[in-house]
Structure 1
Amino acid sequence: MENVDLDAALEAVRAGFAERFPGVNVVIAEDAEDDELPVPALVCQISEIEPDPDGDPLTGQFPCLVRVQARIVLGRRTPAVRMQTLKLAGAVAAQVHAERFGVKWGAATVIAVEPDEFAPAAARFDVWLVEWVHAARLGDAFELPPEFLPSEVLVSHAPRVGIPHEADYEEAQP
């Protein structure tokens, strides 16, 4: 797995949603202003980078789970707002499921689809949260120089091993 550029990855997520949901204002959280956010809106952000020691490829890269969130925001004046927000959250989760958004990271695993009652703007908006993770590696991998790789592989069988038995070794065949 290659190094994941988090800026490019988040932009790919935003662009994927913008293409899939053309009538929805899709923004990155840092660019969203609560006072001026046109609804319906989908606000994307990377919320956490969780270490994944079990996924260490021993390449020098940092193995992690990148946690991504999308908040679905509809105005309280939208007819049947709770159902409309829930349906849009379900559609977002369906798109995210097993998706990579063209980024060289693992397929998405959806971990939450729920109301976001604690959003600061919850009094004016109905907000649902869709949250998922991607397995990723950050940083550059080290590469072995070509001269470090063996050009010949020799094999022998015990007890005829080691320096005293060099003549007993044969070239391994694929």
Structure 2
Amino acid sequence: MSDGIHLTHYHQMIVKWLKEHVNWLKLVDFYPETETALPVPCAFFSVQDWERSEDQRMNGQLTVTLSCELLAVLGIAEDKYQLDIRNAAMALAIAVEGERFGLPVEPAVFSSAEPDAFNPELDDYAVWSIRFTQEIDIGKDEFQYTGVTPSTVKVGYVPKVGLNDQDSYEQVTDERT
């Protein structure tokens, strides 16, 4: 597999994926740590916590389940902002469900969406929290294969063995080609 995912790389890939696939967002960043007016609609991604996954790969890596949050942020100047923020939250929930975000991870699993009032820096905006989980492997894969992947497979039927008897083997071919 790999040497696992580094949390910084995970954050960067989620933000990159959101920028590329949810084009109506004017800003995508991690953790809402801004003191200036926000270009809305926007979203902030964060990893809330993680726990040991029930399914471990037994390869030296630790498989963890990340609890992730995506904050959808809209302005409150529009008359329909309550409906608009709910539609935005639903669109983001659909977008993240089943995604791997270009990483060697398990598909994201949408958990919930609800109004968010826990970020005082966003009190001037309508904010909804979209939560999802995702399993990732961290640490080094002790059994990672580093050799050459075979390109030809041969089989023998009661073969003679040795260098002089190579003709008694048949190459296995892919019938689809």
- Residue equivalent to 2:48: 47
Residues 1:29 and 2:17 aligned together: no
The Cα offsets for residues 94-135 of structure 1, whole Å up to 9 and x where unpaired, read as 011111011111001111111112331453111000111111
Task: Indicate conservation of the 8 Å contact 2:57/2:63, yes or no.
Answer: yes
One-letter code of the match for 2:92?
V
How far, CA to CA, are the matches of 2:143 and 2:73 in structure 1? 45
- Residue equivalent to 2:11: 10
Distance 1:61 1:85, change over 3 A: same
SS in 2 for 1:87: helix
TM-score normalised per structure 1: 0.75
Provide the aligned length of Structure 1 versus Structure 2: 144
Unaligned runs of 5+ in 2: 147-177
- Residue equivalent to 2:170: none
Distance 1:107 1:33, change over 3 A: same
- Residue equivalent to 2:141: 141
Residues 1:107 and 2:107 aligned together: yes
One-letter code of the match for 1:47?
Q
How far, CA to CA, are the matches of 1:124 and 1:14 in structure 2? 23
The structure in which a higher percent of residues are helix is 1
Structure 1 segments, 4+ long, off by >2 Å, are: 20-23, 34-38, 143-146
SS in 2 for 1:55: coil
The Cα offsets for residues 129-170 of structure 1, whole Å up to 9 and x where unpaired, read as 011111111000113899xxxxxxxxxxxxxxxxxxxxxxxx
Cα RMSD after superposing both structures: 2.1
Distance 1:121 1:81, change over 3 A: farther
Distance 1:120 1:58, change over 3 A: same
For 1:155-174, list aligned pairs within 5 A: none
How far, CA to CA, are the matches of 1:96 and 1:145 in structure 2? 31
TM-score normalised per structure 2: 0.74
- Residue equivalent to 2:84: 84
One-letter code of the match for 2:115?
P
Unaligned runs of 5+ in 1: 147-174
- Residue equivalent to 1:123: 123
One-letter code of the match for 2:50?
I
